[in-house]
Chains A and B, each alone.
Chain A
Amino acid sequence: MRTLLVVIALGFSIAIMISIPAGIMANQESMQTLSENLTSTITTMQEEINKTATLIECSTTPNQGMQTFRPGGGFFGGVNETFINESIVDEIYSINVSGVRVVKDVIPSLEKSSSENITETITTPFGNRTVYRSAYTIIGVCLNSSIISSYSILPTNITAGENLSEGDSCYVLISSNLTEYFEAGVGDTITINGELFTVKGIFESSSQTRTVYMNISDAQRITGLTGEISKLYVYVVDSSYATQVADVIKAAYPELYVTSYQDRLENLQQMQSMYTQTLSNAESSIAQAQSTATQVIIIAVAATSLIVLFVMLYSVRERTKEIGILKAIGFSNWNVMSQFMLEGVLIGLIGGATGVLIGSTIAPFLSSFLIPQINLFGGTQRPQASVQMPSTNIVGLQSYTTVTLSPELILLALGAAVLLGAIGSLYPAWRASKISPIEALRYE
């Protein structure tokens, strides 16, 4: 009966000892992933912040968004589109502020609505109307390797095929909502303005926009706009020059719509600090969980050896007479000691086995109970990105059910149990061996 209690008590200690590390291991992995993801997100965001802060967008047309159609049934398709000669690139590039060149990069692009139109039925307050709109927008981008790698001018969420790369000519990247229109997939050939293009990749469009990306020189050729561009992304060397340079451009080219991104900047910075906060939360949680686990394990180890110690001491006391008999019939001190040590080791072994059984049952619950939850964004709300963000996978830490007991951990636990049994019974066994036979025999 007593032995049974010891075994159960020991079992629980061992269970704690194995389920905590198991939980920690499971959590640490997801924590690690989270931490890595957050770190890379923060780094990417920092780059984005730096770029945004130094970006001035110059466009020949008012900003996107209202571009699709105009009320009254009229259609918008290249009618109001204006273009500017690409010599402006060099002119803007050479802007000086007090004799210092402040423009880092000027990235031209050409956006032109397709000559083909489609009809669409849309619902308006005046009833259903049939509208005409351009079938898609051609975007000619500067396929220069240093620009592609430094700035996100191409879509990132490719669903099939590959993205455009440096110097690609006669290749296009189309938005997924255009595959039906062109009746084409990756590797197929499509005709645009009478020229043949191969679909190199398909990207998932974030909105209703229907877009075809191609090399800017291809775009200029097929639209007959040689030397013309419609948009400029101007990057200054330092964000402090952004407003100043924007003013210079506005004054010099009144026909351009010039936007700098100070408001977006604030938003980005806010988001970044939120991610940073989450990262530090995650890191402190890892540290906290580890120290909690260490404490619990130390307590479990101490408790286990104390349990064995007291039970064995009690056992020695209770069996004093037996020890006396054994000594009277010729048992040596060592014989007596090894008897009790063996008993302690056996209790440890049985307790350890019980512990593994209990542990494998309770480990998932115990570890989620003992390890603090991590507050991700303070709830379910996530910041809404107003600018295009690199896609990130943030691993949720809510899933504790993946706790598994590895064979190594089980062996380790059994070993620990045996060791603790031996350690706990060392002193009682030594005491037993020192009992004087004559006094032990008188003991009742």
Chain B
Amino acid sequence: MNETVLETEKLDKVYKLGGRSIRALSDVNLQVKKGDFVSIMGPSGSGKTTLLNILGCLDKPTSGRIILDDVDVTTVPEKELYKIRRYKIGFVFQTFNLLPYLSAIENVELPMEGTGKSKEEKLKRARELLKLVGLAERENHKPLRLSAGEQQRVAIARALANGPSILLADEPTGNLDAKTKYEIVRLLGKLNTEHGTTIVMVTHDNAIASHARRVLFINDGKMLSKEKMGLFAKEKLTCPACGREIQITHVFCPHCGRKLSN
């Protein structure tokens, strides 16, 4: 997994609200290799969703470059961007964003609309994907007749429809209860480990973030550098008391319960 799928260089995003300008992203440099599973954590308003939207070509950076599969997407004209979104990126939303009047399988087929695939090919691919996310027998259900977790599975299947280079998930567990949260994040983990899907996930839930191979932190639009993070810069941390693995956001050790110092 040395091949770089996604790389950003000096990404800046400035919003102009009235006369004031708000810096949402500042000098973000990020590198995602093929087969990686990256969690981006940060408090609300830290710019993590903005970053993901920019990575997903839904929004444009004020400056900086995004290289996706060796293509600088910031130079792709607006009219051509849909091809990047269609073939290179799979997007999973916090609110699932399924079309309510389409069945599960139709929702999964939707991104293949206009790709020149035949009806049978689309159906076959959609069935495969629904089977992959464990919903093979519910393909004709409308989203409202599916549970929240099932809806998110459909959304993940949809995101994978055109075999994207990278799967971007924006708070994929944000609207789910504790049990289904883990099912979804495990599904993402399975996709990553068994199918080599490259994933970038934004979350504010450290328990969810811990399922990723790497966790990155963002605050005030800045990625926390390794130097600043100091001790926490290491990707795997251990509890000083019991020696077992802990996460940077833990205040108490989940294993021995000892209060952790910053």
Which residues of A does B touch, CB under 8 Å?
321-322, 325-333, 335, 437-438, 441
Contacts and interface: CB of A to CB of B under 8 A. Distances in A.
B97 A325 contact: yes
Interface in B124-160: 158-159
B58 A328 contact: yes
Interface of B: 53, 56, 58-59, 79, 82-83, 85-87, 89, 91, 93, 97, 99, 110-111, 113-114, 158-159, 161-162
A331 B82 contact: yes
B103 to A, nearest CB: 16
Nearest to B101: A322
B82 A330 contact: yes
B82 A327 contact: yes
Nearest to B88: A330
Contacts of A332: 79, 82-83, 86, 114
Chain A residues touching B, majority SS: helix
Contacts of B161: 329
Given A327-B58, A437-B58, A438-B59, 12 more contacts: A325-B99, A327-B82, A328-B58, A329-B86, A329-B111, A330-B82, A330-B162, A331-B114, A332-B82, A438-B58, A441-B93, A441-B97
A333 B85 contact: no
A330 B53 contact: no
A179 B25 CA distance: 115
B236 to A, nearest CB: 34
A-B pairs, 6 with minimum CB distance? A330-B86, A332-B82, A330-B85, A329-B111, A438-B59, A438-B58
A335 B113 contact: yes
Given A322-B99, A335-B113, A335-B114, A330 B58 contact: no
A133 B97 CA distance: 108
A326 B110 contact: yes
6 contacts: A325-B97, A327-B58, A329-B161, A330-B111, A335-B113, A437-B58
Nearest to A330: B86
B158 A329 contact: yes
Contacts of A333: 79, 82
A327 B97 contact: no
Contacts of A325: 97, 99
A24 B28 CA distance: 73
B55 to A, nearest CB: 12
B81 to A, nearest CB: 9
A329 B79 contact: no
Nearest to A333: B79
Contacts of B97: 321, 325, 328, 441
Contacts of B111: 329-330
Contacts of A331: 82, 86, 113-114
A328 B91 contact: yes
A437 B86 CA distance: 13
A329 B93 CA distance: 11
A335 B82 CA distance: 10
Contacts of A329: 85-86, 91, 110-111, 158-159, 161
A78 to B, nearest CB: 102
Nearest to B170: A441
B85 A328 contact: yes
Contacts of A321: 97
A400 to B, nearest CB: 46
A394 B82 CA distance: 71
A438 B91 CA distance: 12
Nearest to A325: B97
A328 B99 CA distance: 13
A149 to B, nearest CB: 80
A327 B57 CA distance: 10
Nearest to A334: B114
A325 to B, nearest CB: 5
Contacts of B162: 330
Contacts of B91: 328-329
Nearest to B112: A330
Contacts of B59: 438
A329 B53 CA distance: 12
Nearest to A319: B99
A330 B99 contact: no
A331 B110 CA distance: 9
A439 to B, nearest CB: 9
Contacts of B158: 329
A328 B170 CA distance: 13
A330 B56 contact: no
A443 to B, nearest CB: 12
Contacts of B83: 330, 332
Contacts of B56: 328
A327 B114 CA distance: 12
Contacts of B79: 332-333
Nearest to B89: A330
